[in-house]
Structure 1
Amino acid sequence: MFRIIAWALLTLYLLIVGLWPAAVAPVGLAFTGLGFLLAAIPLPALIAIGAVIAWELRHRSNSKPATV
């Protein structure tokens, strides 16, 4: 029984070690792209965009349209 568990753990370890870099690569690229976009937009523009979004969220209508 111990031999089966050892082989299963070895297989799981090799899968994790082998697949982890391939699985994490797209996430790293996405954060790199997001960082590039945030660095390309000037800070005052980001603040203005954030202020507009906050204003829209605060002043949106809570009434729901009538359904037929």
Structure 2
Amino acid sequence: MNLRSISWLLVGGYLLVVGLWHPALAPVSLAAAGLGAVIAAIPGYVLALAAVAAWLKYRPAPVAPAGA
């Protein structure tokens, strides 16, 4: 490959990354905004109760002492 081919490939790669980055990221940001709206609609005490229930269900088992 000569220098001209490499430069055209680099320009094409740059345009591809710069031109397609924002449209490719749009669904992710929209999903995050939707998730934020759903979480904002749930009262805080319900989220806190759900967090406590999840912690109680999946809490770590007590560790036995080393001498036992």
TM-score between the two structures when normalised by the length of structure 1: 0.79
Q: How far off is 1:59 after superposition? A: 7.0
CA distance in 2, matches of 1:59, 1:10: 53
CA distance in 2, matches of 1:35, 1:14: 32
Alignment gaps of 5+ in structure 1:
61-68
**Matched pairs, number:** 60
- Percent identity between matched residues is 43
Alignment gaps of 5+ in structure 2:
62-68
CA distance in 2, matches of 1:33, 1:19: 22
TM-score between the two structures when normalised by the length of structure 2: 0.79
Q: CA RMSD in A?
A: 1.5
Q: Which residue of 2 aligns with 1:65?
A: none
